[in-house]
Amino acid sequence: MIDLEDLRSRPDTYQKAAKDKNLKIDVKKFLKLDAQRKELVGSVEAQRAEKNSVSKKIPTMKGAEKEKALKDMKSLSEKLKKEESQLGEVEEEWKMMQLQMPTIPLDSVPIGKDDTENKEVRKWGDLPKFKFKIKDHVKLGEDLDIIDIPRGVKLAGARSYFLKGDGARLEMAVLQFALDHLRKKGWTQFTPPYMASWECLMGTGFFPGAEEQTYAVGAEEKRGSGVEADDLYLIGTSEVSVASYHKDEVLKEEDLPTRYAGYSPCFRREAGTYGKDTKGLYRIHQFQKIEQVVLCKADQEEALKMFEEIRTNAEEVLQALGLPYRVIDVCTGDMGKGKVFMQDIETWMPSRDSYGETHSCSYLGDFQARRLNIKYEDKDGNKQFVHTLNNTCIASPRILIPLLEIYQKEDGTITIPDVLRPYMGGQEVIVA
């Protein structure tokens, strides 16, 4: 949700932002609706005031005067009821159009239609060179009996999998290493609810727009089971729950910025991705993720410093794991309506002979805070909306793709990175 006063003062800027983000939003249409709503609100409030005033006077009236007043009151009530109904319809459309309005990206954000026009910022690490024919992570996992995709598909359909034995242990090691990395820096760990309400998904900017990607809880009701629907949704990221933690609260300026690390399973339907990245563990329905969530003062300079901090945290994890990566500036057409600035981290995946997205870092200004109604009281006693940021510190099993492939040996074994060995009981190698 955006600042309506700002929208009204520079509508062309918002229309350009919508165009650059590939959003079909008509700002002029919204402003006409906005003016209509304002007029209706004024009319309804005036009629309500008149009705209340006359209602108080009627008991003191007699005869023809009272009869005329009652007649006028009936006419006024009918008119008021009609305009209240009209206002309700206009306000519903007015609110839904607001939820579609984009934030204005920073001037530094590249303008582009989709991910093909994202811009590489820099690279880290040397790409591995192999003197033998490499296996992809699926073949490695099958040969070592640590990944079982066929049985996952048998149980839960396409894009499902099992991690087993050292595969499951390796995933937990990566996740715990990332959590410990953040904890040592003073981040507060969260295990949040894995289900959230529509309000939380709307508040974080996923609804409306991402409904088809989201698993709804309570679908059995539609199948005639008699089970009552819960009106909840499985989260696709702990950002939904953790960013909503302070919903409808007023924080103290001295408590900002927050440094929250949410760990959770994540669930995504991947609707519309039929035939895309179907092999292996790259694009799946269920995964685990550690998400950094920051609430800070309404100060863009401070927010961008936090952006550097959270992206650096993720980079440090990759560097400790010895995984080559690159940082990408995400273009307008690939960043979503709520983002002000966004960077992705892509990690080298030998079997793809390319970098693959593993991390995403976003700054959203006060977009989420306005929707979630999260404010803080500044030193002058004024209440302002916080600014929010989020970043993937690590997500698995996608991160296992470069881990398994880069650390594979000619004999099919996997060398465990040094930093993960303490989390695996000192184990150095994964063998069949």
- Would residue 326 show up in a list of annotated catalytic residues for this protein? no
Are 134 and 405 within 8 A, CB to CB?
A: yes
| 321 phi-psi bin (left φ>0, alpha ψ -120 to 50, beta other) | alpha
Catalytic residue, candidates 283, 326, 352, 421 = 283
- Report how far residue 110's alpha carbon sits from residue 339's, in angstroms, rounded to the nearest whole number: 13
Catalytic residue, candidates 117, 316, 357, 377 = 357
Place of tokens 């007029």: 39
Instruction: Return the bridge partners of 295, or none.
Output: 388
- Would residue 351 show up in a list of annotated catalytic residues for this protein? no
- Would residue 268 show up in a list of annotated catalytic residues for this protein? yes
**Cβ neighbours, 10 Å, residue 238:** 28
Residues 6+ apart with CB under 8 A from 257: 294, 295, 296, 297, 302, 306
Reduced to 3 states (helix: H, G, I; strand: E, B; else coil), residue 264 is: strand
- Would residue 360 show up in a list of annotated catalytic residues for this protein? yes
On the 0-12 / 13-18 / 19+ scale of CB atoms within 10 A, 51 is middle
Q: How far is CA 27 from CA 15, 142, 333, 346, 428, in A?
A: 6, 53, 18, 35, 59
Catalytic residue, candidates 169, 259, 268, 311 = 268
Catalytic residue, candidates 311, 362, 398, 405 = 398
- Would residue 398 show up in a list of annotated catalytic residues for this protein? yes
Catalytic residue, candidates 360, 362, 371, 396 = 360
The catalytic residues are: 268, 283, 357, 360, 398
